[in-house]
Amino acid sequence: MHQKQFPKDKEEQNRYVQPTALSEEPLVADSTLAPDRFVGTTIANRYEILSLAGKGGMSAVYRSRHLLTQRIVALKLMHAHLLTDENAVRRFQQEAKAASRLHHINAISVLDMGVTSDDEPFLTMDFLEGRSLAREIADCGKIEPKRCIHIFLQVCAAIAHAHEQSIVHRDLKPSNVMLIQVDDDPDFVKVVDFGIAKILREGSESLKLTATGDVFGSPYYMSPEQCMGNQLDARSDIYSMGCLMYEALTGRVPHEGKNVLETMYMHTNLAVPALTEIDADPRLKFRLDQILQKCMAKVPDQRYQSMNELRDDLTEVSGSTQKGLKIAAQLGMNAADKGRKFDNKLAGISSKKLFWIAAPLLAVLGTVVISIGYYWLSTANDPSPADRELLPIRNISGSDMAEKMANKTTEQCLSSPEVLTKSLNILGQTEQAHDSNIMLYDLLLKSYKKYSPEEFYQQLRRYGFYFMKTGDYGEAIDAFEKAIETSVRGKFALPLENAPLQASIAECLISSGDGTKLDKSLADSGSASVKAYNFALLAYNGFQDSNVKTNPMAITNLGNLLELCSSSPERLQRGSAFLIDLANLQSIPPSVKAKVYYQAAQFTESCEANGIKELRMPTWDESRSTMTLPLKPTQTITEEMLDGALKAWEQLQRKRTVLRIAAYNEGVIYNKLGLIEQKQGNLPLAADNFTAALQKFIANNEAEAAAKVMFNLSDVQLQQHDLLAYYEMHRNAKRIWDGLLHPFNLDLLKKPRV
């Protein structure tokens, strides 16, 4: 945006910052427009172009006739000079995609789409004979409340439908609300122009087109988060809806600055004026004012959380009888008006004083502003803070180990004479050992009657552990559950024999990997976590009853219990007992310790996040020669557990089979330690940890993980006010993240941490 070129006229301002959408009357013919090369031609052999209806920054709209049905439609055609702009083409396609999802009487929808003979994309929509709400406001000045509410309810219904289709309009304003005559209703609403709509949860392509940091929309109706280029959701449309309602009721926008930046500043910082100027019952004014204030709250969490909630309140207000005393409502309006005016005046006075006080520091302030501007623009498409907390690799069995397991399991199954002939035929049909094992497992299930219950139980156990090692968790769970069911029915397996199977089911349920066959609805609903916790608890009781505490499977199950407790605040109290059990164990194998100590750190970190600042931990009391359970800071336990996991991975690096995984997981732990130190304000130590993590990932050829750590490191450099280091680190991180650079090509590393 160029501040000096910002037009003073409001409709011109809307067009200025809305390059991808048409202006006020997008679907009504305008005879004053210059002749167009498409008028009089036929598009795609079925649409006759009658006249030019309007133009926008991305496209033009034509009044057209479908040659077969003779129906008049609006044909939207992308400008030819934008065909080489890949993002522009995709945004045009996304408008078609968004509008084609809409099937609501108050929202415009796409009828057809295609390309011209010159490969120019187009789409067709209903041609609306009517006027925009913006034109109606300009002609009437104010629109009386009852009529406004009738219009607002329809807009809410249309946008609520869009939100249900995961579409955020992002440019809701009066010029995008068309009023047409339908039967006896002269104010039948059609919401138009989804040209910059954002389709949520559509993957990376959608994110690239409407990335955080891009500022689209019209400044008079933009939410605070939209003004700041932050991530948007449905609540941003609710803020814009509040601005639209305010203008319709009062005849003026809630915030109007001298330029774009001032208007956006007002949205972000100033209170919305009270509805004192409308002519209505004071009780109605007071209730509408409350609704608008809730719509236009600065913090999204304080707004209506859905358009349906807003529609419910408007429906209640639309009733003919107003509740309460008029005098009380009038006093409430006066108090609200004075309070907001005082707040805004105070903000203005403070700003003026600050300017004169800070005059000698304007050069420094300019540098800061430029830096913040760079930060806002350059951080678009960065991985989110949550994504920068890397996850360790859970399964440390390499592909070579999985192949050996496959061959071994095949041999075991082939040793059964009952399936020998069929097995040989299967092996002749496939070259993959894993595929053959899946087929052999199916044969085993079909021929279970040829085995004794004990033999069938043992075969199921073997297959369960094999599938678990190869990452086929769905098959593994199936085999383990059938084995447990067989032992219970046959009454021959002891609790200790089934405990490893129950522990393994829990392990599979909380793991992820290629080939998983877990029901997605089960995983999404949280039922997988509950099921995993229940199986892990059964296994824990089985190991405890048999006094088997140092078995690697029992220790692994203990770690899984801690991880499952960390994901549910209700389980944290029970998890503290599991943590004490783990701390009491001695001589844990490194391959087990590396994982369970990390899970213990997850648990203690969750405790701290939920307000549990201290936990009891076993400590040897020299004076009494006994173990005690004093309270210990949760944060200290987290760091100790991460340090223990790190040392275990360092021991495992000596094994060639897990060298790469060990190095990767060390980097994960260094990165987590860095985030912890950064949160505590220990910036030099945080930088050292991030640097150590970066060293591991670069040496391990992990470009994506290295980029995430570099983003974290650049944040620390920014907090340390080392701007030159920040610019260089962040720029390189972004290039690696976008696939334009490999970290091997940069001298990024300091000396390794000792």
In angstroms, rounded to a whole number, what is the distance separating the alpha carbons of residues 261 and 274? 23
DSSP string, 177-197: EEEEEETTEEEEEEE---TT-
Round to whole Å and give the CA distance between 600 and 644.
10
18 vs 173: CA distance, rounded Å: 11
Task: Compute CA distances 11 → 23, 325, 607, 670, whole Å.
Answer: 8, 40, 53, 54
CA distance 579 to 562: 7
The gap from C-alpha 384 to its chain's centroid, in whole angstroms, comes to: 9
Residue 747 among the catalytic residues: no
Q: Report the residue count for the chain.
A: 754
3-state secondary structure of 620: strand
* Rounded Cα distance, 410 and 463, in Å: 10
Determine contact, residues 54/28, Cβ cutoff 8 Å: yes
- Spatial separation of the C-alpha atoms in residues 151 and 247, rounded to whole Å: 13
- Cα separation, 136 vs 121, in Å, equals 32
Alpha-helix runs per DSSP H in 447-551? 453-469, 473-490, 495-510, 520-525, 527-545
Phi, psi of 565 (to 5 degrees): -70, -35
The span from the CA of 547 to the CA of 436, in Å, is: 39
Which strands sit side by side in the sheet containing 59-66, from one edge to the other?
42-43, 47-55, 59-66, 72-78, 121-126, 110-115
Q: How far apart are alpha carbons 445 and 442 in whole angstroms?
A: 5
CA distance 499 to 502: 5
CA atoms of 562 and 536, how far apart (whole Å)? 10
Distance of CA 440 to the CA centre of its chain: 41
Contact status, residue 498 vs residue 542, Cβ threshold 8 Å: yes
Cα 624 to chain centroid, rounded: 53
Do the Cβ atoms of 697 and 667 come closer than 8 Å?
yes
State the pairing for strand pair 59-66/47-55. Answer: antiparallel
Query: 8 near 24, Cβ under 8 Å?
Result: no
Find out whether 733 and 715 touch, Cβ atoms under 8 Å.
Answer: no
| Catalytic position from the list 171, 193, 382, 472 | 171
At 271, the amino acid letter reads A
Positive/negative CA dihedral, 650, 651, 654, 656 = negative
Active centre residues (catalytic)? 171
